[in-house]
Structure 1
């Protein structure tokens, strides 16, 4: 298994929880997911860190607006694609 796969699977799982309406449970798992992503981003180039800040801001805006489906879309599609492009093994 590639090192990135567990992270991608977790992003998809969190998205699924939000789609199912389990927002409290999903939010807790999302924090852990974001910590794992941040650990990778900390060693990435500056432009990549800026992309992460933009993406994180968009996801947190969805969370603040309680737009669970929008947040799920960001997690399942935008975040997964961004991680695959930036951390291709």
Structure 2
């Protein structure tokens, strides 16, 4: 539970970095956030794990096309919601 709360905070911080145009720093942080999210969601129900896989693909697509604001939105809203639903 504490890991998920920590991960939620880090998601929001990383999203803020993307919004500030600090994409290199944010991208480095994002790797750690995704790793923590993966670890946190490994024991979640199957539907949450499938949602995580889909969300991860969408976030990586945003990164590939350098859509930093879209990536920030996914991290701050969708990923946080997924982590909180996985905690239930």
Same fold (TM over 0.5): yes
**Equivalent residue for 1:62?**
62
Deviations 1:50-69 (A, max 9, x none): 11100000000000010000
1:1-89 matches, within 5 Å, as 3=2, 4-88=4-88
TM-score normalised to structure 2 length:
0.91
User: In proportion to residue count, which structure has more helix?
Assistant: 2
Deviations 1:16-45 (A, max 9, x none): 000000101000100000001111222223
TM-score normalised to structure 1 length:
0.90
Cα RMSD (Å) of the superposition? 1.2
**Alpha-carbon separation, structure 2, partners of 1:43 and 1:10:** 20
The number of equivalent residue pairs is 87
